Amino acid sequence: WYPWRDRLYCTLDILMHLPRSVFSEKQIDLMLWLLKVNGITDCPSTKEVKDWSRDINRLYGIDTFEYNGALGHVYYVNSISQMLAQEFANPKVRHKLHVLPEDSGPRLSEARQGKRWLHELHSELTTPWHRSGTTDYFTFEPTLATKNRFVIPTRWFTRGDRTFAKCWDMEPVSVDGTQTWRAVVRSPETEVPADELLKSYPELKVHMADFPDLYRNIPTLFPIHHVFHQEDGTCAEWDGVNWSNEKGSYWRQKSGGRPVYSVPIWLYCDDTSGNMSKKWNKHNSWLFTLAGLPRTEVTREYNVHFLCTSNLAEPMEMLDGIQEEISRAQREGIWAWDCSKQDGCGPGPVMIFPVVLALLGDNPMQSEMACHIGLAGRKFCRVCEAENDKGQRMPLGTDIPGGVAPPVDASPSGPADDNDTDNPDPPNAIYDTGSDTSQPGSPVEGTQPRRRHDTERVLRNYITDAKVIGNEGRIEAEKTRTGVKDTFLAHFLEKIKSSYKSHRGVDAQQKALDLFWDKHFKEEEVENMINPVWRLKGLDAHQDTPVEILHVVLLGLVKYFWRDAVRHQLHKKEDKLAELAVRLDCIDVHGLGLSSLRGRTLVQYAGSLVGRDFRAVAQVAPFVLHNLISPESYETWLSLSKLIPLIWQPEIEDIVAHSALLKVEIHQFLLRTARWTGRWFNKPKFHILVHLPSHIERFGPAILFATEAFESFNAIIRAKSVHSNRAAPSRDIAEGFSQWERIRHWLSGGWFRELGVENVMNMTTWKPLPAKGWTRPVFDPDPEGWKCTGMESKKIVNDMDGPIPRYVGLVDRKRLGTSIFLRSG
């Protein structure tokens, strides 16, 4: 039963910490009593079980760190570094995890094949290590390739069964009479197969010293004077700190030559209620999954990891703590035990670091992440500069096949009332396509994209303006004009404003403001007043918040149209509503993989349906709405139903053709919507949809960055909130998930370092760890110290008749009765 003491402690530990089976202390008391009265001897007390569980988690679990937030709230965050290290030691995850992007040609089915990871991610944030044969190569190091070429690999990627390096060419140059090197960035970048690399930097340096005659006319490898960009003719200094110097690359020095991997993640935030009742008790939560997992794995609940939650701290306040650990890991690396035998290496120590591939959430949350004013603002799009002009409407009828659209007020039905907070309805908003589109008035291309440097500049201007009395109105006007609003910075601006409120006269107020500023803020701390999302290296929150299809399409477009059909077009037409319900009851959806539809529910509660209901509605609407609604709206339904399968395409054979087709279908859908009534374009989600094709090209199929898996996780967070003591829910919930991460890791056959477990397993010698003064030992690369669970405990997850494999997530639902534990060895 290793590392548990015995069967009883193993089963109790598992039962207490399953994510969807949360028990209160009273319930645990009853379970222990049940065991005792049924003859189970040596049954521990509730306190003994909790103390032992707490100690075992301090030894082998995930640390929970306390943060005093910048906005004045205390919150607790589970260590993302330790969770990532556990994933590399978990055979159920590591054997499926990809750490290199893939050039799959026109085919697109995974995040690693998208432009964001393959081309756009900063080279220093990609995996820097690769082994070819028996030689270890690192990026940003001079390397000898075939044909006597000196190159500098900057990025590794796969193509088919081979690994390639994107390289900078090295050219000798004379600077002030001294021979040295420059790195030449060609366009397109030079690609070299990894098996054509002959000598790594350490080997090359030794070989040049041993055989100087062979390199008589070759300058020493360092220093490299500059980097020349051939495309625009510009030069940049060589970064000897973050890239490489005479001692080798930055990561070779950090890891001592051991493997180093970049681990891209999907980072998600949302709010949920901490109550089971309808009374709202808002908890903001941060979660993540590994973007390198296959599409079929990344959406499983088993692979969703909890970071933090709070009913007090704001999302960006908690991101401050998360960003701090991510940035530290990107500088220092994370030691982990790699249980795989990939890349020509056996199990052993590796160094890893996380990279945020994209930020996921619903539209209001993504706007807050991007310091955007929101969907109700004049500039309602977080991705581009699209703008609504009060009193104007989108010009209709110019590009609509079949004639000119009717006037707005002539439509037989208008948009349904939209009370959901996810998509407020800005008055008189139009669908603005900007002036730089491929075709005037085209609703497909969008406008000038927003960029992080522009937003950061605006935010710094807010801070500068806040130093002068009387600029409050100017700041508010700028928020409206630019669409830039930082909820994190707003806290500090409010503190600055309140510092002089009690004073009278401009001079007295300015003096009070200057004193307050000098006392509480330093110039080097100004950056910490701005949203921490901009401190995440290599991330642009405007462009890296992909369109979330659950809220934009199912809970947006489909919801609007279905409510319009039921509540407006069929309003007070009881015979037609009854006919619609009967059609829904009778339609055969077996081929769609759906259970039989309940027509009365879908009609009667059209305003209270959820995502899975609208998923069914979207597929059957053209059949059940025929001859029940206006011809214009029915044509729009047909166009939407044709568009949705393209959006939910899991594997794209030709991304160029698919993207072109998707743009055409979006265009057709918007034109048919405009022909129906232009008032639909008061809904910003119609505009947000036009950014979806580019996001699919950059991040992979849209279902990869859909949030259903995260949304379903809200139920687990809610259950843990209900069973917390309510005094410190952020801490209690984080510690509960820390225990779950340990149980998940052990039951998955994960490796862990043995740390005094003999004392924990022996009741006579076990003593509780001190509350303070004890820290977990540093990482140990000795393979003798790494263990996994015993055979008896493994039998639990292989028991297909028991509930544990299903609760833990070790059962492949596509192959019922088959244990992932058994199949993956």
Span 637-651, pLDDT tens digits:
999 999 999 999 999
Beta bridge partners of 245: 248
Beta bridge partners of 468: none
Cα–Cα distance measured from residue 389 to residue 808, given in angstroms and rounded to the nearest whole number: 52
pLDDT of 394 higher than 70? no
Region 403-426: mean pLDDT is 39
Cα–Cα distance measured from residue 701 to residue 283, given in angstroms and rounded to the nearest whole number: 30
Q: Which of 12, 61, 1, 255 is CA-nearest to residue 753?
A: 61
DSSP annotation of 648 reads: T
Region 718-746: mean pLDDT is 86
Beta strands in 562-613 (DSSP E): none
pLDDT of 5 higher than 90? no
Cα–Cα distance measured from residue 16 to residue 678, given in angstroms and rounded to the nearest whole number: 55
Cα–Cα distance measured from residue 545 to residue 267, given in angstroms and rounded to the nearest whole number: 10
Give residue 697's identity as a one-letter amino acid code. E
The pLDDT value given to residue 80? 97
Cα–Cα distance measured from residue 612 to residue 589, given in angstroms and rounded to the nearest whole number: 14
Q: Higher confidence at residue 711 or residue 125?
A: 125
Region 678-696: mean pLDDT is 93
Using one digit for the tens of pLDDT, what is the confidence trace for 377-391? 999 999 999 888 654
Cα–Cα distance measured from residue 676 to residue 407, given in angstroms and rounded to the nearest whole number: 9
Q: Higher confidence at residue 43 or residue 813?
A: 43
Q: What confidence tier does 20 reach under pLDDT thresholds 50, 70, 90?
A: confident
CB neighbourhood size of 340 (10 A): 18
The pLDDT value given to residue 574? 93
The pLDDT value given to residue 771? 64
Region 550-557: mean pLDDT is 94
pLDDT of 819 higher than 80? no
Q: What confidence tier does 339 reach under pLDDT thresholds 50, 70, 90?
A: very high
- Lowest-confidence region among 255-259, 482-486, 528-532, 783-787: 783-787
- Cα-based distances in Å from 205 to 131, 208, 566: 18, 5, 75
The pLDDT value given to residue 654? 96
The pLDDT value given to residue 392? 45
Contact 352, 88 (CB under 8 A): yes
Q: What confidence tier does 810 reach under pLDDT thresholds 50, 70, 90?
A: confident
Name the average pLDDT for the chain. Answer: 85
pLDDT of 799 higher than 80? no
- Cα-based distances in Å from 471 to 461, 468, 475, 496, 505: 11, 6, 6, 12, 15
Q: What confidence tier does 216 reach under pLDDT thresholds 50, 70, 90?
A: confident
Residue 231 in 3-state DSSP? coil
- Lowest-confidence region among 405-409, 617-621, 775-779: 405-409
Region 261-288: mean pLDDT is 85
Angle at 486 between CA 282 and CA 482, to 5 degrees: 130
Q: Which of 741, 783, 746 is CA-nearest to residue 3?
A: 746
The pLDDT value given to residue 774? 66
Instruction: Provide the percentage of residues in the chain whose pLDDT is more than 90.
Output: 59
Chain centre to alpha carbon of residue 24: 32
Beta bridge partners of 108: 652
The pLDDT value given to residue 202? 95
pLDDT of 12 higher than 50? yes
DSSP annotation of 312 reads: S
In what helix (H) or strand (E) does residue 170 lie, and over which residues does it extend? strand 162-175
Beta bridge partners of 135: 132
Region 409-429: mean pLDDT is 40
Instruction: Provide the percentage of residues in the chain whose pLDDT is more than 70.
Output: 87
Region 110-128: mean pLDDT is 96
pLDDT of 487 higher than 50? yes
Region 27-48: mean pLDDT is 82
Cα–Cα distance measured from residue 252 to residue 500, given in angstroms and rounded to the nearest whole number: 53
For the chain, give percent helix, strand, coil, nearest 5.
45, 15, 40
pLDDT of 369 higher than 80? yes
Q: Higher confidence at residue 27 or residue 427?
A: 27
The pLDDT value given to residue 801? 66
pTM for the model: 0.89
**Six-digit token string for 489:** 């910075």
- Lowest-confidence region among 165-169, 394-398, 649-653, 662-666: 394-398
- Torsion angle of alpha carbons 605, 611, 616, 621, nearest 10°? 60
- Cα-based distances in Å from 390 to 667, 675, 746, 770: 24, 21, 59, 65
pLDDT of 420 higher than 60? no
Give residue 676's identity as a one-letter amino acid code. W
Cα–Cα distance measured from residue 194 to residue 213, given in angstroms and rounded to the nearest whole number: 27
- What backbone torsions phi and psi does residue 516 show, to the nearest 5 degrees? -65, -45
The pLDDT value given to residue 389? 66
H-helix segments, 625-763: 631-647, 655-676, 685-688, 692-699, 708-722, 729-747, 757-761
The pLDDT value given to residue 397? 32
Cα–Cα distance measured from residue 742 to residue 748, given in angstroms and rounded to the nearest whole number: 10
Using one digit for the tens of pLDDT, what is the confidence trace for 443-476? 445 578 999 999 999 999 999 999 999 899 999 9
DSSP annotation of 487 reads: H
Q: Taking the domains of the chain in order of start, what are their residue ranges?
A: 1-99+110-117+268-361+710-825, 141-242, 366-448+545-704, 452-535
The pLDDT value given to residue 399? 34
Contact 325, 349 (CB under 8 A): no
